[in-house]
Structure 1
């Protein structure tokens, strides 16, 4: 649901930006028509008026994503892709390269959702197989008597003689078997 809301917000922001862009372009075209009429009169006199200044392209409004988590990811992209990103910034769609890349990544993921679902399904199967393999290895270790070494790392043992101290009171600070001072946990 959140992703759909985000998509709708982006669509609305882009629609508003396009309306503003068209309005500004329409105004500039009118100024250009006026300039042409004025230029015809001025050319007859031997001069040419200055062109009307190009309008400032409205920036894409930043979308406030309340509570949205944002992660920074460094990636290498080719020169052609960078030119496209810079073109989008120059056109006023985005303010930064990061913003443009984030948008394009999001759109790319949405566009290839079919592949994402296949990978997700395959990964679930891989995890299931991995878990079954780990359980099988654990069972084999137990059958071979190798499970003891695993238990030693989890219990309380003397670091000098390796004797099991799990049955002794926790207050004991010296191994009763070899006399070695025990490390404090």
Structure 2
């Protein structure tokens, strides 16, 4: 069971998130907070696996709360869920320790998948957000090989192309008719073969390899 803490200053938003999470048999909402201050306290009390974190809130904002929660409990996975899809909110949240970033117009299935992805140790991003991260990396000319190692298989190239498109492991599995475990194995292999340190670097590789 994945333990989820909901953090948002709007009661209706929290109610909607609770209903959505509780509709999934593998998710359990263990607490709600209406500001960052409450979130920090509740994270200690209820020990969530995943925190769905709003950013703009009274008393303590979501970015500060993320920093303090992650400092106290490094194993907690924080996924930002916000209306503000811009770099001024994205990059400080990631620097604070958030593992993912979704906008509030995400489909319910995408949000549930993001919680599961985060709990599994991966980084869920809305496709538009992942594309911006890749574009920024390209503009910054971060070091990455422009061609793929010869050891990368045809199937791994297919998986890499979909990582570059911002798809989660489940979405990739659905697209390629593979199990999630198989997709994770391919992603792990890609990380090892390419030397990429994380999923964003793999997405950058997919762009530079023109997949």
TM-score past 0.5 threshold: no
Higher strand share: 2
TM-score normalised by length of structure 1: 0.23
Specify the structure having the higher radius of gyration (Cα): 1
Relative contact order (alpha carbons < 8 A, sep ≥ 6): 1 or 2 greater? 2
TM-score normalised by length of structure 2: 0.21
